[in-house]
């Protein structure tokens, strides 16, 4: 193409544009940016500004060269070139070399062994923070110790340490208990490393972990995990309240119980009912405290923390004291069985009273309530003696060897001392009613993991306070990791010290029944068990208040983000921002945990939700690290994606270890929330990592796609739909989008393209409007895909650019869909049908398939359901199997599901039509397609007078159009000539010195012009009536007429007719005749889809 640049001067911006008299050249100035000595930015506004104008010769399309042989259709196999001189198929004769007649190809197609196999298969904004803003602290002064370390310490240490750790050590043994502690603490340490990286990668406002996850993984994951974390925090409140009530009713005021068991076997049920009643009262009281004065809760936090620290110090002091002065807590054994000593003081069967031997209170318990020595007693009681052992033998006693290994058992199993002599009784049926210490639940390793894990949660406390810290990016990592290290040390040493100091039977006594209902960990403390009892009571109270304070604020943060619409009401609160409605919901959920009433049953539930939250914190850090997003610049440098993945794996493992069914329920809840947010369309763009992951996955897939073209088995139409819009920029043919949806069923690529004439600088707003209208039409027609509006200097170039450049990498279209220009005959502008023909030529040159829908507005919409009818396929030439594949794809959609498929092919005089039908049926059988087959015979016949006349009329019309075009051009030239002559005459009159007189007058000009026009018109009319039609055109018209007769005869009542589309002539002089041929071919048919293959096989018989 020839290209040149010219400089056009633009005059002053005063609204008057003067034609340029001179074309400026563009010499390269010595100084870049300055021209003609004028410095950029100081140019005189009234001087002409030279503009570079780009000029190029018109593009040349369809160079008439023979199409290259396709690597996908090896159908000639070096056969001789097909020499064809018949009349019936003249319309397709120019393409016979690349697209052979079906009749000559069916034998090979029936076997279908000539495809290249083994091709590689490939795999397929505004940030609006509406979270609850903390009141701005003018100068946050909290450092690492007060702002992060102590809050984390307070949240981590709590109810499980005081109420269950001794029982876990006794049941699992020291070795397995250490394994549980190491697993859980490793999980939180790895999570803390990931959390530190996220928390130091920018400011973390209110919402804490929810904010971190949602901004790292997107609104769907953020909402799902945020709500799981909220549920975990709420159930943690239930656990702390249950712990408070257990301490109150078991160790402080047991006489306050409302439900008292008459029999020993009813004690568990009575305890649960007491927990429900007192727990509900406690929850109501705590909720009122939070509602009325949350500031007092925050002020009392240090008091509660002091209780925890003092309790732990009392434990260590007691451990040291046991080394030289063990406390006196006797445990009574009958044989090797541990006894509850609630109803007796002396561990004796009999005693001497006034020189008389009588039974003790213990005797009465085993002998039906009688102290008489001749009373009938329990067999085991008779056979075994009672012994007294020290519950806390001390650090140097060597009891650690008895506590090394686990001793799991079912519900109701008796707590027995190993290596203690005992005689077994034959009848054990009454044991459940006797005062033995028994397991209140079945115990096993995974259960203990679920019960213990809540004791290591609370690591987010520091990140939640980031707004109050002097240097959050320094304090959060140091404070959190130090707090986890401290608590891990406390738990590990506690496990070892409990096992070294306390006897195994007392460790396995969950409620201290063998030491007169003393808190087991309290028996070890110094100076008094009450230090631990009171300390743990206030610790549990404080933790419960903290949970009821934090959970509603977390819910409020999620609600105000607007990603879960039904939670919007919980974003509101009191005038000061306190989340009233969220507090009510939190109280209701907390009541569910209290109604469960068992601390051991509630702990695994909240373990699930916390583990899921920690899992996604690790995932967020790993994704951000691996994606290497530019914004990922944490100040905390001691992280690695492998550590995050290890933490994530550990969280997932712990979920299923502790309770697989709770893990599934938690995942289902998170999945439902995720799908709900996705369904409602979370209109948030937070630059999240999942979106970055999608971009990376898309890039990887696109690169893989370009490695090789898709195999025939994977081929599906990837559509480029060429749409037109009207003057109001509304879509002209929305049914074209319906047809796309029915062909695609949401699969594969769809690009909807449109071209506006002009320049983008002047048409940008119109382009955006057109794009919006097209997207609305796509949504209405349920077309999933992309929209692309191009502004070009002319429509032809615009469509060319779309066909060449739409798509990206390997994800490009292979099929072009457009509407038939139905008004091409009525249009005065030939550009409409010329653009159509050039588009056909271009799709052929680019090896794209082409679908042209005639009468597209009559095609069914997506909501219509066609009744029983047929989709008729007229297979004239083979071009890759598109005609076979399209009806199959259409019938997958419910609009066309009831339609049957019929295939017609055309036989010549010398073809064996019976064999052709058998071959075609075999071919369809191999293709797994159900269709009726019919071979239509087209006999050679003389060209009719009708065909001859129709061809003559077509050529006369074409000639007239050319003359009209010529006359229009002539009128334009005459107008320019008159203008030039008038200009010259004015110049001559003004120049008197020249003395030149006009010899050419206007009258003379008009006379000569009319004389010439009349002569030309007479010649033109005489030529029109003396024309003889071109023989090639006659043969093509004969094909169109005969084929149309056959198609109309067979398929006039079909719901849809698919027909091979003949290619345009290589000689552009016959373009208007080509449109006439197609009109004749389609005459009398309603819905027609003209199909033109892309030069490759698209359907295969292979699996």
519-528 per-position pLDDT tens digit: 999 999 988 8
pLDDT tier at 961, thresholds 50, 70, 90 = low
**For helices 882-891 and 735-744, angle between their N-to-C axes, nearest 10 degrees:** 90
User: Where is 816: in which H helix or E strand?
Assistant: strand 815-819
- In angstroms, the CA 917 to CA 905 distance is 9
SS3 530: helix
Q: pLDDT value at position 52?
A: 41
Closest CA to 852 of 1085, 1070, 1041: 1085
Q: What share of the chain is helix, strand, coil (3-state, %, to 5)?
A: 55, 10, 35
Q: What is the pLDDT of residues 183-195, one digit of tens each?
A: 999 999 999 999 8
Q: Helix or strand or coil: residue 500?
A: helix
pLDDT of residue 79: 44
Burial 139-178 (b: 16+ CB within 10 A, else e): ebebbbebbbbbbbbbbbbbbbbbbbbbbbbbbbbbebbb
DSSP bridge partners of 163: none
pLDDT, position 557:
83
**Pairwise CA distance, residues 614 & 606, whole Å:** 12
750 to 667, 707, 864, 886: CA distances (angstroms): 34, 21, 22, 16
C-alpha 985: how far from its chain's center?
Answer: 76
SS3 476: helix
Residue 969's pLDDT band (cuts 50, 70, 90): low
pLDDT band at 967 (very low <50, low <70, confident <90, very high): low
pTM for this entry: 0.68
Q: Which residues contact 522 (CB under 8 A, 6 or more apart)?
A: 251, 512, 529, 530, 531, 532, 533
Helix H, strand E, coil C: the string for 162-214 is: HHCHHHHHHHHHHHHHHHHHHHHHHHHHHHHHHHHHHHCCCCCCCCCHHHHHH
CB atoms within 10 A of CB 1011: 10
For residue 985 the two structure tokens come to 């005459």
pLDDT at 673 over 90: no
Most confident range, picked from 429-433, 508-512, 551-555:
508-512
Structure confidence by residue, pLDDT tens digits, 1022-1051: 454 455 556 667 777 777 888 888 889 888
> Please, are residues 200 and 636 in contact by the beta-carbon 8 Å criterion?
yes
100: CB partners within 8 A, 6+ apart: 75, 76, 82, 877, 878
Q: For residue 609, which of 552, 555, 653, 670 has the smallest C-alpha distance?
A: 670
Q: Give the distance from CA 391 to its chain's centroid.
A: 58
Q: What is the 3-state secondary structure (H, E, C) of 131-156?
A: CCCCCCCCCCCECHHHHHHHHHHHHH
Q: Which of 252-261, 804-813, 882-891, 1007-1016 has the lowest mean pLDDT?
A: 1007-1016
Residue 298 has pLDDT above 90, yes or no: no
Which tokens in the block code for residue 331?
């445990």
| H or E element, residue 751 | strand 750-757
Rounded Cα distance between 337 and 170, Å, is 15
In terms of phi and psi (left: phi > 0; alpha: psi -120 to 50; beta: otherwise), the region of 572 is beta
For the chain, helix (H) and strand (E) counts, in that order, are: 32, 17
Question: Treating both helix axes as pointing N-terminal to C-terminal, what angle do 209-217 and 529-561 enclose, rounded to 10 degrees?
Answer: 40
d(CA 105, CA 389): 100
Does residue 58 carry a pLDDT above 50?
A: no
> For 575, which DSSP code?
T
Which one is predicted more confidently, 1009 or 263? 263
Residue with tokens 């794996």: 649
101-110, 288-297, 380-389, 881-890 — most confident range: 380-389
Higher pLDDT, 1000 or 238: 238
The answer to whether 327 and 531 are in contact (CB under 8 A) is no
């Amino acid at each position: 193409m020839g290209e040149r640049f010219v400089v056009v001067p633009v005059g002053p911006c005063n609204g008057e544009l003067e034609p340029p008299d001179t074309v400026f050249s563009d010499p390269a100035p010595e100084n870049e940016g300055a021209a003609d000595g004028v410095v950029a930015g100081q140019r005189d506004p009234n001087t002409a500004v030279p503009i570079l104008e780009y000029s190029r010769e018109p593009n040349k399309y369809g160079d008439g060269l023979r199409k290259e042989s396709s690597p996908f259709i090896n159908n000639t196999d070096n056969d001789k070139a097909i020499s064809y001189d018949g009349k019936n198929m003249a319309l397709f004769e120019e393409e016979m070399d690349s697209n052979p007649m079906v009749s000559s190809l069916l034998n090979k197609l029936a076997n279908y062994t000539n495809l290249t196999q083994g091709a590689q298969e490939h795999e397929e904004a505004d940030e609006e923070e509406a979270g609850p803003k903390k009141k701005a602290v003018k100068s946050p002064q909290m450092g690492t110790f007060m702002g992060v370390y102590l809050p984390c310490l307070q949240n981590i240490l709590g109810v499980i340490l005081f109420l269950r750790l001794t029982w876990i050590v006794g049941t699992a043994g020291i070795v397995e208990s250490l394994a549980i502690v190491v697993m859980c603490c490793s999980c939180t340490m790895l999570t803390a490393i990931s959390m530190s990286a996220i928390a130091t990668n920018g400011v973390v406002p209110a919402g804490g972990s929810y904010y971190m996850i949602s901004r790292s993984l997107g609104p769907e994951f953020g909402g799902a995990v945020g709500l799981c974390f909220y549920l975990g925090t709420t159930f943690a409140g239930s656990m702390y309240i249950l712990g408070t009530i257990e301490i109150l009713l078991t160790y402080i005021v047991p006489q306050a119980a409302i439900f008292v068991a008459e029999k020993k076997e009813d004690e568990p049920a009575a305890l649960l009912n007491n927990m429900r009643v007192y727990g509900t009262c406690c929850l109501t009281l705590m909720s009122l405290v939070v509602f009325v004065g949350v500031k007092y809760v925050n002020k009392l936090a240090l008091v509660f923390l002091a209780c925890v620290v003092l309790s732990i110090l009392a434990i260590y002091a007691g451990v040291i004291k046991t080394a030289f002065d063990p406390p006196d807590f006797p445990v009574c054994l009958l044989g090797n069985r541990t006894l509850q000593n609630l109803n007796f003081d002396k561990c004796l069967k009999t005693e001497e009273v006034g020189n008389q031997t009588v039974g003790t209170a213990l005797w009465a318990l085993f002998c039906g309530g009688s102290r008489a020595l001749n009373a009938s007693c329990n067999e085991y009681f008779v056979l075994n003696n009672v012994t007294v052992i020290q519950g806390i033998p001390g650090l140097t006693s060597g009891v650690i060897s008895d506590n090394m290994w686990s001793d799991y058992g079912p519900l109701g199993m008796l707590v027995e001392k190993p290596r203690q002599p005992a005689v077994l009784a034959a009848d054990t049926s009454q044991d459940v009613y006797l005062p033995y210490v028994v397991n209140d639940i079945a115990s096993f390793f995974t259960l203990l993991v679920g019960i213990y894990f809540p004791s290591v949660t609370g690591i987010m406390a520091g990140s939640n306070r980031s707004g109050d810290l002097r240097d959050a990016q320094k304090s959060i990592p140091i404070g959190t990791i130090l707090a986890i290290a401290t608590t891990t040390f406390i738990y590990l040493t506690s496990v070892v010290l409990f096992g070294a100091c306390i006897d195994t039977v007392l460790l396995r006594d969950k409620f201290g029944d063998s030491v007169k209902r003393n808190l087991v960990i309290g028996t070890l403390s110094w100076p008094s068990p009450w230090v631990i009892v009171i300390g743990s009571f206030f610790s549990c109270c404080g933790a419960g208040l903290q949970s009821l304070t934090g959970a509603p604020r977390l819910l409020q943060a999620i609600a105000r983000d607007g990603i879960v619409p039904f939670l919007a009401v919980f974003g509101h609160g009191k005038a000061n921002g306190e989340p009233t409605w969220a507090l009510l919901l939190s109280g209701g959920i907390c009541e569910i945990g209290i109604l469960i009433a068992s601390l051991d049953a509630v702990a695994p539930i909240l373990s699930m939700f916390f583990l899921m939250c920690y899992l996604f914190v690790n995932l967020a850090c790993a994704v951000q690290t691996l994606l290497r997003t530019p914004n990922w610049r944490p100040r905390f440098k001691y992280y690695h994606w492998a550590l995050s993945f290890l933490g994530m794996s550990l969280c997932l493992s712990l979920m299923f270890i502790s309770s697989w069914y709770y893990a599934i329920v938690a995942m289902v809840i998170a999945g439902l929330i995720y799908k709900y947010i996705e369904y409602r369309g979370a209109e948030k763009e937070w630059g999240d990592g999942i979106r970055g992951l999608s971009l990376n996955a898309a890039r990887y897939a696109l690169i893989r796609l370009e490695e090789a073209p898709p195999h025939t088995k994977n081929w599906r139409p990837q559509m480029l739909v060429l749409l037109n819009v009207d003057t109001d920029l509304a879509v002209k043919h929305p049914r074209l989008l319906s047809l796309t949806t029915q062909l695609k069923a949401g699969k594969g690529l769809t690009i909807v393209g449109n071209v506006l004439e002009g320049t983008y600088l002047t048409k940008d707003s119109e382009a955006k409007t057109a794009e919006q209208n097209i997207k609305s039409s796509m949504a209405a027609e349920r077309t999933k895909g992309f929209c692309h509006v191009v502004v070009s200097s002319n429509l032809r170039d615009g469509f060319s650019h779309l066909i060449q450049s739409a798509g990206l990498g390997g994800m490009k279209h292979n099929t072009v869909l457009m509407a038939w220009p139905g008004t091409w005959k009525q249009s005065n502008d030939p550009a409409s049908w010329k653009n159509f023909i050039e588009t056909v030529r271009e799709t052929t040159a680019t090896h794209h398939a082409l679908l042209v829908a005639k009468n597209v507005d009559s095609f069914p919409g997506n909501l219509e359901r066609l009744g029983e009818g047929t989709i008729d396929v007229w297979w004239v030439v083979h071009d890759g199997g598109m005609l076979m594949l399209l009806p199959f794809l259409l019938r997958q959609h419910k609009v066309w599901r009831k339609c049957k498929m019929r295939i017609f092919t055309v036989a010549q005089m010398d073809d064996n039509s019976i064999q052709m039908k058998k071959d075609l049926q075999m071919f369809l059988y191999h293709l797994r397609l159900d269709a009726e087959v019919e071979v239509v015979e087209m006999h050679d016949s003389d060209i009719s007078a009708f065909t001859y006349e129709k061809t003559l009329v077509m050529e006369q019309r074409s000639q007239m159009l050319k003359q009209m075009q010529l006359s229009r051009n002539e009128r334009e030239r005459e107008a320019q000539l008159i203008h030039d002559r008038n200009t010259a005459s004015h110049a001559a009159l003004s120049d008197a010195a020249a003395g030149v007189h006009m010899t050419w007058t206007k009258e003379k000009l008009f006379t000569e012009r009319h004389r010439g026009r009349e002569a030309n018109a007479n010649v033109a009319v005489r030529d029109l009536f003396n024309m003889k039609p071109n023989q090639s055109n006659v043969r093509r018209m004969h094909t169109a007429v005969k084929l149309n007769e056959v198609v109309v005869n067979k398929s006039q009542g079909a719901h849809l007719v698919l027909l091979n589309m003949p290619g345009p002539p290589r000689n552009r002089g016959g373009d208007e005749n080509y449109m006439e041929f197609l009109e004749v071919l389609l005459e009398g048919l309603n819905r027609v889809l003209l199909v033109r293959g892309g030069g490759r096989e698209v359907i295969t018989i292979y699996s």
